[in-house]
Amino acid sequence: MTANTVKQNIYEQIQKRNPGEVEFHQAVKEVLDCLIPVLERHPEYIEAGILERLVEPERQIMFRVPWQDDKGNVHVNRGFRFEFNSALGPYKGGLRFHPTVNASILKFLGFEQVFKNALTMLPLGGGKGGADFDPKGKSNNEVMRFCQSFITELFRHLGPDTDVPAGDIGVGGREIGFMFGQYKRLRNEFTGVFTGKGLNWGGSLIRTEATGYGCVYFAEEMLKTRSENFEGKVCTVSGSGNVSQYTVEKLNQLSAKVVSLSDSNGTVYDPDGIDDEKLAFVLDLKNVRRGRIKKYAEKFSVEYLEGKNPWGIKCDCAFPGATQNEISENDAKTLLKNGCYLVAEGANMPSTPEAIEQFIADKILYGPAKAANAGGVAISGLEMSQNSLRLSWGRQEVDEQLRNIMIAIHKQCYEASEEYSRPGNLLMGANIAGFVKVANAMLDQGLV
């Protein structure tokens, strides 16, 4: 069978077996399309059924999460954990709490996580989980009760050498704390079973900043291939959560000018730049007061683009940091028309396949999520090491490790793109380099 037939068969099979799960199909198709030349060169991957195994999670857990609101009303949410692949280490990946969460979303995220984690070069398998719970507008106590109920079921599947969750959309330090507390109580064990923990109880310095900082370090490496840096570059950032906040902070440190942030209601456009003082307002607004980004426009008297994303704003570099499929084909065309020549993905799968096609055809610097946003999980890997060693490294030391990891990820992707005759195509490079690591470990470990 030719590599192309194998690819077609697998793609048809996952569509049949996972009907209607369009985001999962999208993530698998992207990887399969990039792997054709690898399969042509390495028939052993086809013979061992590596791809068939990779697209089927090792284990899928789905459960009821009942909880009571402050008025005593009962609610039921659906909880999930997709333990995708453990060839390289314990299952590792975040939990997402958002009303749109379903099997398709979490399978796409879990599948991506496998390759992303491989790129970090740390001993991490891949998984993802979450619930269709909406933390927006809930009290602290409601969030705590939900987290406790969620873990009362999930805890039996977790463990520091088995499955180590972290945060994702809707899950930050507060939620990790509540879940860790409940896990500890049920197991009667204090272990590093979650990452993104508080700094005073086993968390790692720089974990909060890691995804955003890492994305900018990766983008810096992309710019270096054209002998450029961030000084004076106009950047648009979407989202206003953890990833976006620290993307802005690092871009400011590198003398770029960030002109936008957004949330699901709209975008703020600040042509003077979101400096550190304004960013402090955003951190308080989003992380403490849990308000909407519109408040920024009111506070600093800047333009608010109701219901719009930032991709219509002229920029040199774009940092999608919000969510999947937030850059459509038209958005991509607008970005390119306005002269944008670098896109680094802080969110997971933020560009639609049609948008990616535009970026690749235009040969701009395109940093795909599984490479560009791997900094978060990389520092999670370091948090696990610190917990095992029962020590903690200093801020500068962790930041340096993060930077070195992002440089190494860029190098691996670039080299793989050259090896397969598509120099500079980091989409192919990331998928190939991640896949080869996982596939070789699977070959070594036999048919499991």
Q: Which residues are catalytic?
A: 128
Name the minimum Å distance from CB 343 to ligand GLU: 18
Cβ closer to ligand GLU: 355 or 377?
377
Going 28 to 31 to 35 to 36, the CA torsion angle's sign is: positive
Name the minimum Å distance from CB 203 to ligand GLU: 12
Name the minimum Å distance from CB 200 to ligand GLU: 19
The whole-angstrom separation of Cα 433 and Cα 304 is 41
Q: In this structure, what token pair is assigned to residue 409?
A: 């990820």
| Interface residue with ligand GLU, options 57, 79, 90, 93 (CB under 6 A) | 93
Name the minimum Å distance from CB 93 to ligand GLU: 5
3-state secondary structure of 85: strand
The whole-angstrom separation of Cα 291 and Cα 136 is 10
Using CB atoms, what's the residue nearest to ligand GLU? Answer: 94
The whole-angstrom separation of Cα 54 and Cα 52 is 6
129 binds ligand GLU (CB under 6 A): no
Of the CA atoms within 13 Å of residue 27, those in its CB half-sphere come to 26
Cβ closer to ligand GLU: 91 or 341?
91
90 binds ligand GLU (CB under 6 A): no
Name the minimum Å distance from CB 308 to ligand GLU: 25
| Interface residue with ligand GLU, options 21, 30, 83, 168 (CB under 6 A) | 168
| Interface residue with ligand GLU, options 92, 197, 233, 250 (CB under 6 A) | 92
Cβ closer to ligand GLU: 202 or 376?
376
Per-residue DSSP letters for 375-434?
A: HHHHHHHHHHHHHHHT----HHHHHHHHHHHHHHHHHHHHHHHHHTT-TT-HHHHHHHHH
| Interface residue with ligand GLU, options 86, 260, 351, 380 (CB under 6 A) | 380
Cβ closer to ligand GLU: 11 or 155?
155
Cβ closer to ligand GLU: 166 or 355?
166
The whole-angstrom separation of Cα 127 and Cα 59 is 9
Name the minimum Å distance from CB 348 to ligand GLU: 5
Cβ closer to ligand GLU: 93 or 310?
93
Cα angle for residues 54, 119, 260 (degrees, 5° grid): 110
345 binds ligand GLU (CB under 6 A): no
User: Strand runs (DSSP E) across 69-153, as ranges?
Assistant: 74-85, 91-97, 126-131
* Contact set for ligand GLU, span 180-239 (CB under 6 A): 195
| Surface-to-core class of residue 298, CB atoms within 10 Å of its CB (0-12 exposed, 13-18 middle, 19+ buried) | exposed
Which among 367, 260, 240 has a CA at the least distance from the CA of 313?
260
CA distances for 411 relative to 120, 124, 208, angstroms: 12, 20, 24
List Cβ neighbours of 283 (8 Å cut-off, separation of 6 or more). Answer: 245
The whole-angstrom separation of Cα 407 and Cα 89 is 22
416 binds ligand GLU (CB under 6 A): no
Per-residue DSSP letters for 251-280?
A: HHHTT-EE-EEEETTEEEE-TT---HHHHH
Name the minimum Å distance from CB 269 to ligand GLU: 27
377 binds ligand GLU (CB under 6 A): yes
Task: Compute how many other C-beta atoms are within 10 angstroms of the C-beta atom of residue 447.
Answer: 8
Name the minimum Å distance from CB 433 to ligand GLU: 17
| Interface residue with ligand GLU, options 106, 118, 166, 372 (CB under 6 A) | 166
Near ligand GLU by CB under 6 A, which window of 33-41, 90-98, 277-285, 325-333?
Answer: 90-98
Which among 94, 172, 174, 186 has a CA at the least distance from the CA of 141?
174
How many residues belong to the site for ligand GLU (CB under 6 A)?
10
| Interface residue with ligand GLU, options 376, 424, 429, 434 (CB under 6 A) | 376
Near ligand GLU by CB under 6 A, which window of 87-95, 284-292, 311-319, 395-403?
Answer: 87-95
Cβ closer to ligand GLU: 193 or 313?
193
Residues that bind ligand GLU in the complex, under the rule CB under 6 A: 92-94, 166, 168, 195, 348, 376-377, 380
